[in-house]
Structure 1
Amino acid sequence: MQLSRGNAVFIPVFALGAALLHIHVKFQRNDWVVSRPPPKHKVSLTTMMTTQNITAKTNEKNMTNSTEVGKRSSQSDDEHIYLGSSGNISKPINRNKLISNVICKPHLNVAFMKVHKCGSTTVSNVIYRFGYEHKLIVALPPTRDRPIIGSFGTIKDSDYKHPPGGKRWNIFAHHAMYNRTRFYQLMAPDTRYVTILREPLRRLESAFKYFHLQRRFPGLEKQTRHGTPPVVTYLSRPGYWDPRYRQPKRISDKEHFCFRNCMARDLGLKEKDYDNRTAVQEFVQGIEKEFTTVMILEYLSESLVLLKRRMCWTFHDILYTYGRSSRKQRYKRKAHVTSTMKNRFYNRNYADVMLYTRFKESLQRQIKEGGTDFRQEVMHFKRVNKDVGRYCHAKKKKRPEKIVVSKSKWSDAFSVDRPFCGRYGKSRKYWHPRLQSAYH
């Protein structure tokens, strides 16, 4: 078929117009992606992986051996050592970098709800340090010796130190029973809520050890055989011992001492609803909606890496170490708990069991969805955290001025020095006077 002269001219012009239209639409789509606001609450693990993992996949193998301690630097006069290697990381393309910068902006407003005997003090120290290093307003009680802000979910104006100019808190990491309405009044509007849970039976053992709960049950110590942990005596007949519990006199002790559905209680479940399964299910669903991240103590490193991804933090922000109290709470005598004891305890602690099971399964599912990259990031973080801990716990005379953790595909490079080690793993009382600077 022959084309006329007019048609011959029309076709190239039409093709050029279509190409220009395609380019215009492409740029519009890119502009929409770049200008898209960050998510307010829950962010899928897949999304965070896409925005953060912007380096070439061909370099994954280079990161598996990335914590070589003791390599001296020849580029600086300061005495320090390097942790990790650069791994020949390829540079990200500009579009991904721009998208990452817009979507993955560090989130600064966090409310960490401590749950008794779930490793919450270890995590709260991480949160305190984050607030200190970013000069944020951290919730503080009137005096440094108060471990709780408020009482049984009620926070009065006299229960906390007021920020200047009517400002709201950026960070909360104290003990306080969760009261959604009150916290929404006190925290910044875009606050993300975080907490941590622990296997209920292990949590009870820790509470018995730390709070000496056997003293609150008259007759329990006498019925405990020599060489047997008191918690075993309690678990043999929890239905018998629960009504015999003797409340402490101090209000703060009443909130600290707990033996039944304690995790659910700290997160706001009323005692009258302990045996109401419908109310418990609604309560757990509420936590799912309102909390961005629920960590699990048995998966602490994985939980912290997930928190890092959702908050767009760095490895430096989630470094952790166990405090002295955590190391002292292990039983010297192993508690022999039978399956019958466990079932009895679980039946009387339905709310805690459901809460823990739901979020443990959720975390395991997210780890699986994260795939190889997430597992490699956790392994890398564990090595970095271990090396930083070894450096900070070494004798001062043998410790160099600082160490440098090299850049990886998951986090920027950073250094750790002696002043950092002075803050590393400190208790709540240490942070109180230092965090007050944001109040002036």
Structure 2
Amino acid sequence: MKVLTRRLPRLLLALATSFILFLFFFNSKNGSLPSYGGLLDVRHNSLLLFNYSTPEAPAIPNAPPSCTSKKSIIFIKTHKSGSTTLIATFQKYAYLNGLSMMVPNVENNMFNWPMEFRPNIDNVKNVQDERFDMLVNHIIFNKTSIAPLMSPEAQYVTILRDPLAHLSSSFRYFDVNANGRLGLGVEGFKRFLTDPAKYDATPYWMKNVLPLSRNRINSLTRNLQAADLGLSYWDFDKPRIVDEFMNRTMKTLQFVVILERIDESLVLLRRHMCWRMQDIIFISKNVNPTRLLKMNDYPGWARINAYKWNNVDLLLYQAANRRLDDLRSSANGLDDEVAAYRTIQRQVTKYCNGLLREPGQHKSTLTIKAGRWNEGFLVDSKFCVLLLLDERDLTHVFKCKQHPEHKDCQEKSGYRAKMMLSMIEGEIEYKQILMTPRTS
């Protein structure tokens, strides 16, 4: 009896261990593996050696925050990567928080793009040389020329997209296959992919833009994301320069949003910036409802050629995904927070889109109840209009609020800015402004 008493703890331990192993192998045979507090990364179907313990519950958001919010952002817009959608989110944040926005000196949303940026020539100079809080419009990134104009606390942020999906979008948006010169629809794109260097075409509006300048966008299908981030077209195939660019860029960027992982990206950005849930809400813009092909339908040779043609964009995309994976691995409760965010996102999108259809909707409000991951907040017409407005229109509003004496804020252009301000403040309905044409 004494021997049995001594061995009982060991027997119980052995039985418990056997039961756990049985559950593990039973699940694996049925096509799944159990996930213990982040032990399993289901996206890669592999075990990761991190976070064995159950994640701790986060602090209730209504309690005093344990971090100080970062308000200043330098957002480097990359074309055809979801940037226009994010710009509205950042512009809304800047407007509601009274932040200063660096705006172009011309009546559009470009700082001399596709040419290099010229400080205090391409932007409207701030009064008394004060620094700006936020930058979001088209610009070829150059930290040396941009940083002195911005708040020293500014966070460098960009967004990247899978190079194959990006190439497909650029091919259509920039009309590379003008007049069906390569064939119609999918066949034209497939033909382009057989030899991108041969079939790439510079749009007519770019051909005469200082062609001898070195630092300019020279192709709208090749490494356009890297080019927006400052890499010269003539350096795409120089390994040493590409390595230096990658090291410098990934060191400079404090956060990279991945379009294909936008929800978790924005939740992680929220944590990085110490923002509230309502600060990262977006409404999708410039989304093409159809694609030439679904990503999984591209033949192997097409993928290889697309990634070779966009060799630097691929390096950026891979590096950014690795960084996001690292952030995810230490982000307790991330999946639950993303699920809560998606629920709120759907509610706000449905309500805001109603502003376009229902007369008088601009006088109503939507109440978002407090939850584990968010404080309660109200969504009104101002919140929605700031997300719905075209990037150029809201850029014009910032220009005329900050620099009313500017030539672009006089006469008809000035009247339009006042109309948009009235719409933002809920004095007129959103659809009314859509009937007022721009002057440019």
Mark yes or no: TM-score above 0.5. yes
How many Å separate the matches in 2 of 1:410 and 1:333? Answer: 37
How many Å separate the matches in 2 of 1:107 and 1:229? Answer: 47
> In structure 1, what is the equivalent of residue 78 of structure 2?
115
Q: Give runs of aligned pairs for residues 230-245 of structure 1, distance below 5 A.
A: 230-242=188-200, 245=202
Residue 227 and residue 284 in structure 1: after superposition, are their counterparts in 2 closer, same or farther (change >3 A)?
Answer: closer
Q: Give runs of aligned pairs for residues 55-204 of structure 1, distance below 5 A.
A: 55=60, 97=64, 100-101=65-66, 104-149=67-112, 151-204=114-167
Identity fraction in percent = 25
> In structure 2, what is the equivalent of residue 277 of structure 1?
239
Q: Does 1:360 align with 2:321?
A: yes
What is the CA distance between 1:310 and its match in structure 2? 0.8
For residue 310 of structure 1, the aligned residue among 261, 264, 272 is: 272
How many Å separate the matches in 2 of 1:378 and 1:334? Answer: 25
What is the CA distance between 1:252 and its match in structure 2? 10
What is the CA distance between 1:245 and its match in structure 2? 4.9
How many Å separate the matches in 2 of 1:200 and 1:54? Answer: 38
What is the CA distance between 1:257 and its match in structure 2? 5.5
Partner amino acid for 1:368? S
What is the CA distance between 1:427 and its match in structure 2? 1.1
> In structure 1, what is the equivalent of residue 59 of structure 2?
54
**1:270-307: CA deviations, max 9, x gaps?**
22321122322222221221111011000111111111
What is the CA distance between 1:154 and its match in structure 2? 2.7
How many Å separate the matches in 1 of 2:240 and 2:293? Answer: 39
For residue 374 of structure 1, the aligned residue among 334, 356, 374 is: 334
How many Å separate the matches in 2 of 1:159 and 1:296? Answer: 29
How many Å separate the matches in 1 of 2:145 and 2:283? Answer: 31
For residue 206 of structure 1, the aligned residue among 169, 184, 196 is: 169
How many Å separate the matches in 1 of 2:279 and 2:186? Answer: 41
Partner amino acid for 2:166? R
For residue 305 of structure 2, the aligned residue among 344, 365, 379 is: 344
Q: Which is greater in Rg?
A: 1
Residue 396 and residue 170 in structure 1: after superposition, are their counterparts in 2 closer, same or farther (change >3 A)?
Answer: same
**1:364-421: CA deviations, max 9, x gaps?**
23223224x1111111001101101111112435857211112223232210012322
Structure 1: runs of 5 or more not aligned = 1-45, 56-88
Partner amino acid for 1:339? G
Q: TM-score, normalised by structure 2?
A: 0.71
For residue 291 of structure 2, the aligned residue among 331, 346, 356 is: 331
What is the CA distance between 1:172 and its match in structure 2? 0.3
What is the CA distance between 1:149 and its match in structure 2? 4.4
> In structure 2, what is the equivalent of residue 32 of structure 1?
none
**Does the aligned pair in 1 maintain the 2:176–2:203 contact within 8 Å?**
no
**1:322-361: CA deviations, max 9, x gaps?**
12x3245x33676853111211222232211111111112
Residue 424 and residue 222 in structure 1: after superposition, are their counterparts in 2 closer, same or farther (change >3 A)?
Answer: closer
> In structure 2, what is the equivalent of residue 7 of structure 1?
none
Residue 354 and residue 194 in structure 1: after superposition, are their counterparts in 2 closer, same or farther (change >3 A)?
Answer: same
**Does the aligned pair in 2 maintain the 1:209–1:331 contact within 8 Å?**
no
> In structure 2, what is the equivalent of residue 221 of structure 1?
180
Residue 178 and residue 51 in structure 1: after superposition, are their counterparts in 2 closer, same or farther (change >3 A)?
Answer: farther
Q: Give runs of aligned pairs for residues 1-40 of structure 1, distance below 5 A.
A: none
Aligned length, in residue pairs: 341
**Does the aligned pair in 1 maintain the 2:106–2:122 contact within 8 Å?**
no
> In structure 2, what is the equivalent of residue 295 of structure 1?
257
Partner amino acid for 1:393? N
Cα RMSD over matched residues? Answer: 2.9
Partner amino acid for 1:366? L
Residue 105 and residue 432 in structure 1: after superposition, are their counterparts in 2 closer, same or farther (change >3 A)?
Answer: same
Higher RCO by CA contacts (8 Å cutoff, separation 6 or greater): 1
Structure 2: runs of 5 or more not aligned = 1-50, 405-440
What is the CA distance between 1:321 and its match in structure 2? 0.7
**Does the aligned pair in 1 maintain the 2:186–2:292 contact within 8 Å?**
no
How many Å separate the matches in 1 of 2:148 and 2:267? Answer: 29
How many Å separate the matches in 2 of 1:229 and 1:369? Answer: 44
Partner amino acid for 1:392? C
How many Å separate the matches in 1 of 2:256 and 2:182? Answer: 38
Partner amino acid for 1:53? P
**1:64-115: CA deviations, max 9, x gaps?**
xxxxxxxxxxxxxxxxxxxxxxxxx9x85xxxx4xx45xx112111100000
